Amino acid sequence: MPVRVGAHRGAMCHAPENTLAAFRRAVEFGTYRIECDVRRTADGVLVMLHDETLDRTTSGHGPVAAQSWAEVRAVRSGDQAVPTLAETLEYARGRVRLLVEVKDPAAVDAIVGSIEAAGMAAACTLSSFDPAVLQRAKELCPQLATAWFHLRPGPLEPVALREAYGVELLIVWPAAAEAPVLHAAKAAGLQIRSGFPDHWGYAATTAEVLRLAALGVDEMACGRPDWIRRILLTHGLLAGG
C-alpha cells in the first residue's frame, strides 16, 4: 500500500521546530502533511509554538500566554522568528497540508476562524488531546477534518469516534500500532498516521517504517521526512513515487 510522507513540527531535525524554515525544508523533502502546534499570546495572536513556555525552543522565557505578540516576535528560535498561524497558513497554501494541533483549548474558535479566513479548511486537519476541542471545531466548520490520538495499546471504537467527533484521521503512536485496531480503523474509513522518535537511527527507523506499512498505515512522520521518503522510495512504498 502506498504511504505518504509526514513531518513533525516541520523538518525539525533540519531547522528549528515550528518555524517557517522547518516548514520549507519539509516541503523540499516532498512532505504531504506537516504537523504544527498553535498557542495564543496574551493579546490574542495565534503563534506556532509547542510548549507552554518559551524557554526550550526560543531565546525567551516564561509562559507564551503571558507574553504579548511583540515580545514573542522579538525572541528567536535558533536563527528564526516565531511565525504566526496566519503566516503558516499563507506559506502552506498550494504547497502542503497541515495537521494543526490545538495546544490551548480556549483558542479553538480563533484557530478555526483563522483557518476559514485563509480559505484553508480543506487543506487542514485539526488535532487535540481534548475531545471537546474536536467537537467544537466540527460545530464551527464541518468541512474541517479532525484527528484522534491513540497513544497506548488497547481497544478503539473508530465508528463511535466518527459519529461523536467527525474524526477522519487516527494518529497512532508506535507502541499502540496493533493490527486489530488499525484494521478496524481502516474499515471505518479512517486514514492512519504514525510516527517515531527523532533520536532513532536510520536502521531502526527503516524497520519501523516497514512494520507500520505492513499494518496499513497511510502516512508516517518524524522530524526527518527526508529519511521517511528515502526509505519508502527504496522499498517501492512511496505514494506517487
Catalytic residue numbers, as ranges = 8, 50
Least Cα distance to 180 among 144, 213, 153 occurs for 153
Q: How far apart are CA 183 and CA 211, in angstroms?
A: 14
How far separated are the first and last CA of the chain, in Å rounded? 12
Q: How far apart are CA 42 and CA 218, in angstroms?
A: 38
The Cα 126–Cα 98 span in angstroms is 8
CB 1 within 8 A of CB 236: no
- Cell numbers at residue 16, please? 528549528
Q: CB of 177 within 8 A of CB of 214? A: no
- 8 Å CB contact between 25 and 15: yes
Strand (E) or helix (H) holding 77: none
